[in-house]
């Protein structure tokens, strides 16, 4: 085995493919995608190392000492180290190839049992081999675009002076007040301690109280925004809702900016600029992968992203949106009337058919939105906003927060929440309260939208969904 492993002088496939590398001696490691043998006394190996969608072609001549004994046994999935020289490729497909001085095999992959032999394997099958699917073109490309999006998100906020805050994953509060939380406990489920009145004795549990996995880092972000002004969280969130759709996960990542001295209009502007920046970065920095998605996954994806970067988002109130839906003449599965929660079919009609661009719907009825959203003077609606995009529907949910102590307390009581549990949240309104606003962007819906992948389970490495948490 090479003594040079771990050294940083290893060349990546993406560099070896660049014509500037011609003439360089290199060492490159990766996994074999194909081997083709020529009767003329050489073989071609196609190597991929995840640095780009493309493979580099390696010419291995029969005169190499291990040609018969090892190189001719290399199949798809084998891992190798190549030492050699980058040369101009006579082939039309690529500018460069590598002429190997040595080919070392780290590990073979038995062609009879290696599951990634065939092209065109279904997404459903690939979900059952989540440990190997990153080695496919599609999942490699998804991983790189997801990474680019994360980088773009941090750059967006960091370049604007937002402070990155880490919200806890285990929490005692239910941010959305929707009760869709996973419980965290060390109790033996067969022998849960009870009080005299038979209720569960949480004082004996690990934290001495009921705790859950967080559904959102917003409340903690509000704490930091009311001290540091502009902050954002970026972490995993968990929802125990039984939604078996192509847009829902039980564990997903959310980015939640929170801004003090900001109202709903400011919030909408940040959200719009934020999405445009992300998609522009993907188009600029993930050209090869985006070309692949456009050819293989969704023929409109590049055009759609460009459209978003260039468009002005439509802004309309919930009441106006309901009006549009009532007058449009479409038949919806869920009938429309003022007060209903907009369903995916309604959201998609607005953004795909009516306006053909992203739509920000604001001022929703208070009864269908969370307790923390600022009540409007009409006493019926709150300063909520949802950003809707074609195909995915809601990609961002946010609001201006209720900063008036008395109004917030009343809203919490109406929502059936225990105001004493949220004493610290109310303190933010007791001591130096400020108008503030923020939103949550679903990372996976963003990756889904950017890549055109049809199922959200294929844009997160290890998806968790109802009845599904393998790997
Ligand atoms: O609209 P949501 O529930 O908003 C909040 O959690 C607020 N606390 C955010 C805030 O104001 N700081 O969720 C925000 C976004 C959604 O628009 C969607 O993109 C994503 O999170 N999301 C999900 N993504 C995948 N699977 C699920 N089950 C999701 N639920 C929400
Ligand atoms: Mg929402």
User: For position 19, what pLDDT does the model report?
Assistant: 95
User: For position 470, what pLDDT does the model report?
Assistant: 87
291 CA to centre of ligand 1 in angstroms? 29
Q: Are residues 8 and 59 in the same domain?
A: yes
Q: Are residues 101 and 147 in the same domain?
A: no
What percent of the chain is predicted at pLDDT more than 70?
97
Evaluate if residue 9 carries a pLDDT over 80: no
User: Crossing angle of helices 264-285/137-158, nearest 10°?
Assistant: 140
Angle at 309 between CA 253 and CA 395, to 5 degrees: 30
What are the tens digits of pLDDT across the range 260-305?
A: 999 999 999 999 999 999 999 999 999 999 999 999 999 999 999 9
User: CB of 364 closer than 6 A to ligand 1?
Assistant: no
Distance CA 353, CA 387 (A): 16
302 CA to centre of ligand 2 in angstroms? 26
Atom number in ligand 1 closest to CA 440: 9
Q: Residue 407 is encoded by which pair of tokens?
A: 């109004």
Sequence-ordered alpha helix ranges (H) in 328-414: 344-348, 405-414
Q: Are residues 369 and 442 in the same domain?
A: yes
User: For position 175, what pLDDT does the model report?
Assistant: 67
Q: Are residues 385 and 268 in the same domain?
A: yes
- Model confidence at 117, pLDDT cuts 50, 70, 90, reads confident
Average pLDDT value for the chain:
95
Half-sphere exposure in the Cβ direction for 463 (13 Å, CA): 27
User: CB of 372 closer than 6 A to ligand 1?
Assistant: no
Q: Is residue 198 part of a domain?
A: no
Q: What is the CATH number of the domain that holds 440?
A: 3.30.930.10
Q: Are residues 103 and 141 in the same domain?
A: no
Q: Are residues 237 and 346 in the same domain?
A: yes
Q: Is residue 450 part of a domain?
A: yes
Rounded to two decimals, what is the model's pTM?
A: 0.96
- Model confidence at 119, pLDDT cuts 50, 70, 90, reads confident
User: CB of 271 closer than 6 A to ligand 1?
Assistant: no
- Sequential DSSP letters for 413-430: HHTT--TTTTHHHHHHHH
CB 270 within 8 A of CB 415: no
Q: Are residues 284 and 399 in the same domain?
A: yes
CB 23 within 8 A of CB 85: yes
Provide φ and ψ at 24, rounded to 5°.
-85, 140
User: For position 140, what pLDDT does the model report?
Assistant: 98
Q: Are residues 352 and 410 in the same domain?
A: yes
Q: Are residues 382 and 451 in the same domain?
A: yes
Q: Is residue 446 part of a domain?
A: yes
Q: Is residue 305 part of a domain?
A: yes
Indicate which ligand has the atom closest to the C-alpha of 250: 1
Atom number in ligand 1 closest to CA 175: 8
CB 269 within 8 A of CB 247: no
- Model confidence at 177, pLDDT cuts 50, 70, 90, reads low
- CB atoms within 5 A of ion ligand 2 belong to 397
User: For position 451, what pLDDT does the model report?
Assistant: 98
Q: Which residue has the higher pLDDT, 58 or 415?
A: 58
User: For position 6, what pLDDT does the model report?
Assistant: 59
What are the tens digits of pLDDT across the range 83-106?
A: 999 999 998 889 999 999 999 999
Q: Which residue has the higher pLDDT, 120 or 348?
A: 348
The domain in which residue 415 lies consists of 135-180+215-458
Q: Is residue 326 part of a domain?
A: yes
23 CA to centre of ligand 1 in angstroms? 51
Tell me the C-alpha to C-alpha distance, in Å, between residue 367 and each of 22, 38, 375, 416. Answer: 65, 71, 11, 12
The dihedral built from the CA positions of residue 216, 218, 220 and 221, taken in this order, carries a sign that is positive
Of 92, 107, 122, which marks where a domain is finished?
107
- Sequential DSSP letters for 134-195: GGSHHHHHHHHHHHHHHHHHHHHHHTTTPEE----SEESS-TTSS----EE--S-TTS--B-
46, β-bridge pairs: 34, 57
Half-sphere exposure in the Cβ direction for 424 (13 Å, CA): 10
3-class secondary-structure state, position 368: helix
Distance CA 58, CA 64 (A): 13
User: CB of 396 closer than 6 A to ligand 1?
Assistant: yes
What are the tens digits of pLDDT across the range 183-229?
A: 999 999 999 999 999 999 999 999 999 999 999 999 999 999 999 99
User: For position 278, what pLDDT does the model report?
Assistant: 98
Q: What is the number of domains present in the chain?
A: 2
For the CA atoms of 407, 405, 396, 328, what is the dihedral angle to 10 degrees?
A: 10
Instruction: Name residues whose C-beta falls within 8 Å of residue 289's C-beta, 6 or more positions apart in sequence.
Output: 53, 141, 144, 145
Burial class (CB in 10 A: 0-12, 13-18, 19+), 133: buried
Q: Whose CA is nearest to atom 9 of ligand 1?
A: 440
User: CB of 257 closer than 6 A to ligand 1?
Assistant: no
Q: What is the CATH number of the domain that holds 34?
A: 2.40.50.140
Q: Residue 170 is encoded by which pair of tokens?
A: 């285990």
- Model confidence at 34, pLDDT cuts 50, 70, 90, reads very high
Angle at 81 between CA 78 and CA 83, to 5 degrees: 145
Q: Are residues 313 and 224 in the same domain?
A: yes
Atom number in ligand 1 closest to CA 445: 19
- Model confidence at 1, pLDDT cuts 50, 70, 90, reads very low
User: For position 121, what pLDDT does the model report?
Assistant: 85
**For the residues 404-433, what does the mean pLDDT come to?**
95
Q: Is residue 158 part of a domain?
A: yes
Tell me the C-alpha to C-alpha distance, in Å, between residue 117 and each of 75, 78, 114. Answer: 9, 12, 7
Distance CA 312, CA 321 (A): 17
Of 244, 440, 464, best ligand 1 pocket probe by most atoms within 8 Å of the beta carbon: 440
Evaluate if residue 55 carries a pLDDT over 60: yes
Evaluate if residue 62 carries a pLDDT over 60: yes
Q: Whose CA is nearest to atom 2 of ligand 1?
A: 397
* Placement of tokens 């039980």 in the chain: 250
* Placement of tokens 């419980």 in the chain: 183
* Placement of tokens 């549009």 in the chain: 324
DSSP 466: T
Q: Are residues 294 and 171 in the same domain?
A: yes
What percent of the chain is predicted at pLDDT more than 90?
92
Of 56, 91, 107, which marks where a domain is finished?
107
Q: Are residues 85 and 167 in the same domain?
A: no
């Amino acid at each position: 085995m090479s003594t040079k492993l771990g050294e940083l002088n290893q060349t990546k496939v993406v560099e070896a493919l660049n014509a500037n590398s011609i003439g360089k001696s290199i060492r490159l490691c990766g996994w074999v995608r194909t081997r083709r043998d020529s009767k003329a006394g050489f073989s071609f190996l196609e190597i991929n190392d995840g640095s780009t969608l493309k493979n580099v072609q390696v010419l291995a001549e029969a005169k190499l000492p291990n040609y018969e004994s090892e190189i001719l046994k290399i199949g798809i999935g084998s891992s190798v180290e190549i030492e050699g020289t980058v040369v101009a490729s006579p082939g039309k497909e690529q500018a460069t190839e590598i002429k190997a001085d040595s080919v070392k095999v780290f590990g073979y992959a038995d062609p009879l049992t290696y599951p990634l032999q065939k092209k065109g394997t279904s997404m459903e099958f690939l979900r059952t081999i989540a440990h190997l699917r990153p080695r496919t073109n599609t999942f490699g490309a998804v991983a790189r675009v997801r990474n680019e999006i994360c980088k773009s998100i941090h750059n967006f906020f960091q370049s604007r002076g937002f402070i990155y805050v880490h919200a806890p994953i285990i929490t005692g509060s239910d941010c959305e007040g929707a009760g869709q939380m996973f419980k965290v406990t060390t109790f033996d489920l067969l022998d849960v301690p009870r009080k005299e009145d038979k209720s569960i004795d949480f004082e004996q549990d690990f934290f001495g109280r009921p705790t859950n996995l967080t559904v959102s880092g917003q409340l903690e972000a509000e704490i930091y925004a009311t001290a540091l002004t502009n902050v954002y969280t970026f972490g995993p969130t968990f929802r125990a809702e039984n939604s078996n759709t192509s847009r829902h996960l039980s564990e997903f990542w959310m980015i939640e900016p929170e801004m003090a001295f900001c109202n709903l209009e400011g919030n909408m502007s940040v959200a719009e600029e934020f999405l445009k920046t992300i998609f522009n970065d993907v188009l600029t920095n993930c050209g090869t992968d985006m070309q692949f998605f456009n050819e293989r996954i969704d023929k409109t994806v590049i055009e759609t992203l460009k459209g978003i970067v260039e468009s002005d988002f439509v802004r309309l109130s919930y009441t106006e949106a309901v009006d549009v839906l009532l007058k449009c003449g479409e038949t919806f599965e869920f009938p429309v009337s003022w007060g209903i929660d907009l369903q995916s079919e309604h959201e998609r009609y607005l953004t795909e058919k009516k306006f053909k661009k992203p739509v920000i719907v604001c001022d929703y009825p208070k009864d269908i939105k969370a307790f923390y959203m600022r009540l409007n003077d009409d006493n019926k609606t709150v300063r909520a906003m949802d950003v809707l995009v074609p195909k995915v529907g809601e990609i961002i949910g946010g609001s201006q927060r209720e900063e008036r102590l008395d109004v917030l307390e009343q809203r919490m009581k109406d929502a059936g929440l225990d105001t004493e549990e949220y004493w610290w949240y109310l303190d933010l309104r007791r001591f130096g309260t400020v108008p503030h606003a923020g939103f949550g962007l679903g990372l996976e819906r963003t990756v889904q939208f950017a890549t055109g992948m049809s199922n959200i389970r294929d844009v997160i490495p290890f998806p968790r969904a109802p009845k599904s948490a393998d790997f």
